[in-house]
Amino acid sequence: MPSIFAYQSSEVDWCESNFQHSELVAEFYNTFSNVTFFIFGPLMMFLMYPYAQKRSRCIYITWILFMVIGLFSMYFHMTLSLLGQLLDEIAILWLLASSYSIWMPRCYFPTFLGENRPRFTCLVLITTVVSTFLSFLRPVINAYALNSIAVHILYIVFQEYKKTNNEELRHIMEVSVVLWAFALTSWISDRVLCSFWQWINFFYLHSIWHVLISITFPYGMVTMALVDARYEMPGHTLKVRYWPRDTWPVGLPYVEVSDDKNC
């Protein structure tokens, strides 16, 4: 059995041809497409700073984990090592866990917890620790298990979409779901239709997944912040802004927080 540190010790191999551009980098484009995580991570930390001060400084943990995912994903695609795969997937798992702990609306908590967020956070922590150890048993299925969590997130988004008449919230939900759908399509196509993409000499779908999912997370975060504010920040109004300008057709979303004033 090869060492978990060894190049190509992972059972997972993507469609991009290996070592085409460097003897040190297994998948060149899949490796360097992760640069978007290091651009959007610090930028969103800066843009969401006022919101984090009002809501919870734990939000910074999600953006740190977001950048850690980019780092570990680069390492994985550079080496295709089992260690790189596990680090990448475990970082994604903990990012999802931290997001659940912060933004999951209390009305979706298990009934035996009531609406107690500290207890819910403990449950998420225990589940994540157990899942972390389980990820070592069958690493080849980890990515599919992580993507399946999106089904629950989509359920919550759908339920909240039906509840709200806020056009701004509905719009950002729609954009988030469309971005995620395009990203997932790229991921699945790279896995399932690899022979076709190799036939037409197009190896970049997993790279496109990296870029799209790194854009989807900021949209998803803003979506959950707006939903969460209805339950956790009744004295504040959240307004969606876009960097670099609101008037541009494409931008990175963030929220601006203002206090409600009673006359």
Q: Give tens-digit pLDDT for 49-76.
A: 999 999 999 999 999 999 999 999 999 9
CATH number for 28-259 (one of 1.10.3470, 1.20.1070, 3.30.450, 1.10.20): it is 1.20.1070
Please say if the pLDDT value at position 205 is more than 80.
yes
Percent of the chain beyond pLDDT 90? 88
Per-residue confidence (pLDDT) for residue 263, from 0 to 100 = 41
Please say if the pLDDT value at position 24 is more than 80.
yes
Q: Write the DSSP string, 167-196.
A: HHHHHHHHHHHHHHHHHHHHHHHHHHSHHH
Say if residue 16 carries a ligand binding annotation: yes
Please say if the pLDDT value at position 2 is more than 70.
no
Say if residue 171 carries a ligand binding annotation: no
DSSP classification of residue 17: P
Residue-range domain boundaries for the chain? 28-259
C-alpha 142/C-alpha 88 separation (Å) is 10
Cis before 244 (ω within 30): yes
| The two structure tokens encoding residue 99 | 């997001």
Please say if the pLDDT value at position 247 is more than 80.
yes
First to last CA, the chain: 72
Average of per-residue pLDDT values in the chain: 94
Confidence category of residue 234, pLDDT binned at 50, 70, 90: confident
Please say if the pLDDT value at position 262 is more than 70.
no
- Count CB atoms within 10 A of the CB of residue 180: 21
Q: Give tens-digit pLDDT for 146-194.
A: 988 999 999 999 999 999 999 999 999 999 999 999 999 999 999 999 9
Judged by DSSP in three states, 53 sits in: helix
Sign (positive or negative) of CA dihedral 79, 83, 89, 95: negative
Judged by DSSP in three states, 239 sits in: strand
Say if residue 206 carries a ligand binding annotation: yes
pTM above 0.85, yes or no: yes
Confidence category of residue 261, pLDDT binned at 50, 70, 90: low
| The two structure tokens encoding residue 62 | 């999600």
Say if residue 18 carries a ligand binding annotation: yes
Please say if the pLDDT value at position 259 is more than 70.
yes
Please say if the pLDDT value at position 119 is more than 70.
yes
pLDDT (average), residues 202-216: 96
Backbone region of residue 19 per phi and psi (left: phi > 0; alpha: psi in -120 to 50; beta: other values): left
Per-residue confidence (pLDDT) for residue 1, from 0 to 100 = 55
Please say if the pLDDT value at position 82 is more than 50.
yes
| Contact criterion met (CB below 8 Å) for 184 and 213 | no
